Structure 1
């Protein structure tokens, strides 16, 4: 793919951006002035690629009913979020990722042109198609699976991306594909989006590791969180280079609970998140949690919560 193709695609999508319906509407069952924008793409689209090009951005504080990944393709801009008082700068080559209904407003004013490359994803499509991609990072999984209308503390991800990273390349490919859409473009975009999310998950893990210092037990608990569907004492021992008996004793000393008790808690927490926020069947959820026998999931859930999964879901 040539740089000329990319620039032509970005220019075309920049023009088309002006015709997208990104108008704001009063939210139902919300306080006065709480406004939202709705899916601006076609009804048969699940993934939309758009480009903002300009010297000034000044949005009102609002929400939206879809996931978005905004990438600062050229120049920087600001994002206002978290109860109106958290203003962060999204520098060139950085991502700003938001949940459905998270509140934010973009700001920018520059003599040099600001270019933002955005990928919008329908909420239902995301839950149906892309959960397995981000399932192995517990924090990222919770961010994407638990969008709430009144949640401000962790409503966005600010991701630093090295220059010429694969994330930029994939976004350019998606822009070129969307700008010259064909009958199979949505299927191709879905495939590209899976790769993009994998790269985002990897970069997120690296960024998180670089900014946190954890004890051995904290590292083990985090590993269990990320791999709750397949983790065993043996896999933890192999990963960290300790004997399984040492892992078991350390966890009990630090948490007062056994390995099995901790793992059950993590699986049950994920079960509830999936049941509340997706339309996945109980059998699909059971498999995602690592239960090869669905009846074992039902028994574990009933023992943990005192009610069956079907009764819990209503």
Structure 2
């Protein structure tokens, strides 16, 4: 689908005319974010006068303090990536997400609200929001087209290792690493960039696949999302703003530590990792706890389980071989940890994933 056809689909206001009418009657009521429809209605009536405008008993679009993955991703196996068009004139409702969101301004502009401040975004700008961040977006012009590109956190973790490994590092790559492993309430990255035609084409293609195709392909949608992240990784760091990071960004040790752990997954220990980077075990232990909220042992076990899952899907290795490749000496412990991570045995996991790939690709 070309740009003209895309704009023809998204330009009409349709069901959001209600928000538009309310905004032009009383724009001051939209100036401050709220946490519920009741709070918004109370402010609206207070500023305009009780009873002057009849407000709907329920909002035209979903409102909640937290949106879960179950609400935004279908149960089918292709439901790992989604696209939501931001409702123009919708009041700024503060909320958190359990998944990762990219806000992309396709046309016009919008305002992003976080930590008590409004941040202006214009055409071509993007903002990546990690899970657990309270925020909202407000758009108040007919020409605005703002897209929310959504991806499960687990899908990002499983699908984007290769993308991150191939990147030379830097502030953007480090943000992605932190988004995977940082403790909840993480970072937000704003890109003050100009429109990127290649990224824009991928966004349009993802919209078409996610919302217009009757038969969807999980592989296609994940590939398109990977392309979008890859284009973002190429953007210039001078255009990047950490919206929540207080200290000056200088070094990127987390990515280096995690890559070393992955490359030496069958033998790495806290002692060997500390020795390779010339730091003490105590420092390294505290660093992981501070930056991710987890211990070294927890992160290593999670990494081993992800590697085992990858080997089960992409290779014909038997269980004994997989256990050896990821550095386990006790097969029973491996089975117990794998079932705790994925809710099923390794062989059942392999069967289900391969069946899903056959059905939806």
TM-score by length of 2: 0.54
1:6 aligns with 2:6: yes
Structure 2 residues without counterparts, runs of 5 or longer: 18-58, 168-172, 242-247, 264-273, 311-323, 331-336, 342-361
How far 1:106 moved relative to its partner? 1.7
1:47-73: per-residue Cα shift (whole Å, max 9, x none)?
Answer: 11122353x232222112221111011
SS in 2 for 1:203: coil
Please name the residue that 1:31 is paired with. none
From 80, 88, 104, give the equivalent of 1:46. Answer: 80
Change (3 A) 1:23 1:184: closer
TM-score by length of 1: 0.61
Please name the residue that 1:146 is paired with. 182
Is the Cα contact below 8 Å between 1:76 and 1:92 reproduced in 2?
yes
Larger-Rg structure: 2
Is the Cα contact below 8 Å between 1:127 and 1:145 reproduced in 2?
no
CA RMSD of aligned residues (A): 4.5
Change (3 A) 1:86 1:225: farther
Moved more, 3-12 or 94-103: 3-12
Please name the residue that 1:23 is paired with. 62
Change (3 A) 1:213 1:188: closer
Q: Quote the Cα distance in structure 2 between the aligned partners of 1:17 and 1:47.
A: 24
Q: Quote the Cα distance in structure 1 between the aligned partners of 2:328 and 2:238.
A: 35
1:102 aligns with 2:170: no
Is the Cα contact below 8 Å between 1:140 and 1:201 reproduced in 2?
no
Is the Cα contact below 8 Å between 1:17 and 1:50 reproduced in 2?
no
Is the Cα contact below 8 Å between 1:78 and 1:106 reproduced in 2?
yes
Q: Quote the Cα distance in structure 2 between the aligned partners of 1:11 and 1:185.
A: 26
1:90 aligns with 2:121: yes
Please name the residue that 2:100 is paired with. 67
Q: Quote the Cα distance in structure 2 between the aligned partners of 1:279 and 1:41.
A: 27
Please name the residue that 1:157 is paired with. 189
1:211-264: per-residue Cα shift (whole Å, max 9, x none)?
Answer: x896xxx69x69956964699xxxxxxxxxxxxxxxxxxxxxxxxx97542598
Q: Quote the Cα distance in structure 2 between the aligned partners of 1:171 and 1:296.
A: 41
Please name the residue that 2:278 is paired with. 261
How far 1:208 moved relative to its partner? 5.2
Q: Quote the Cα distance in structure 1 between the aligned partners of 2:132 and 2:140.
A: 25
1:98-146: per-residue Cα shift (whole Å, max 9, x none)?
Answer: 1222100222333x42210221112332223234423552332112432
SS in 1 for 2:195: coil
SS in 1 for 2:139: strand
Residues 224-303 of structure 1 mapped to structure 2, 5 A cutoff: 224=256, 228=260, 260-262=277-279, 265=284, 269=288, 272=294, 280=302, 282=304, 284=306, 294-295=326-327
